[in-house]
A and B are shown apart, each in its own frame.
Chain A
Amino acid sequence: AQSVTQLGSHVSVSEGALVLLRCNYSSSVPPYLFWYVQYPNQGLQLLLKYTTGATLVKGINGFEAEFKKSETSFHLTKPSAHMSDAAEYFCAVVRGSSNTGKLIFGQGTTLQVKP
């Protein structure tokens, strides 16, 4: 069955530094992968998703993620962190088909941005 693992429950970076949040997936079929962000005291919001096609996916707020089949990874990056990026980030995979499948979330990574 499809699953995701996020490496590191907490990541701390300085403002202006590179953000790298790691996600590895397990799937016996071509995966559909997502990154969601949760700002403090809010619900989750879609950052970006990979379905098919281009392996480098661009999302909102300057984030992007690259699907690497050989490494079973879908890491999230942003070249320069901003204070407003402090939030919890969730990687997710669809378990089942694209029409009937459901989202399976990773454990989450809290991003702290230091001034």
Chain B
Amino acid sequence: NAGVTQTPKFQVLKTGQSMTLQCAQDMNHNSMYWYRQDPGMGLRLIYYSASEGTTDKGEVPNGYNVSRLNKREFSLRLESAAPSQTSVYFCASSDAFGGLREQYFGPGTRLTVT
């Protein structure tokens, strides 16, 4: 039981390049989330998927797109990377959607945009 896995662990991009961050969970959870973590700002929600087939914007969605590929997988895409998107990205999942549900986090992806 691996929990929540993320690939890659590290990535360096040049401004304007695109990439997709992958996330998968093996806990049969219905809801999945993408956060970014920046120093002094805590975690901020980018997008979430309350259930398979649905996605919604969080606090900071600009510059990102997501795909809920199936129940297990939830990817985050940067179409044209900018230095402001340098951050650590965390994927999380919960058994159901709602503020009281415990979220389980992956180990993160460190992204640097030069």
Task: Give the chain A neighbours of B92 by CB distance below 8 A.
Answer: 43-44
| Interface: A95 (CB within 8 A) | yes
Given A43-B107, A107-B42, 20 additional A-B pairs, CB 8 A: A41-B107, A43-B4, A43-B92, A43-B104, A43-B106, A44-B90, A44-B103, A46-B103, A49-B100, A49-B102, A90-B42, A97-B99, A101-B98, A102-B58, A103-B43, A103-B103, A105-B42, A105-B44, A107-B41, A108-B42
Confirm or deny: A32 has a beta carbon within 8 angstroms of a beta carbon on chain B.
Answer: yes
Bound CA span A100–B96, Å:
10
Interface check A84, CB cutoff 8 A = no
Mostly, the B contact residues are: loop
Binding site for A on B (CB under 8 A): 4, 40-45, 48, 58, 90, 92, 97-100, 102-108
Which A residues are CB-close (under 8 A) to B100? 32, 49, 51, 94, 98
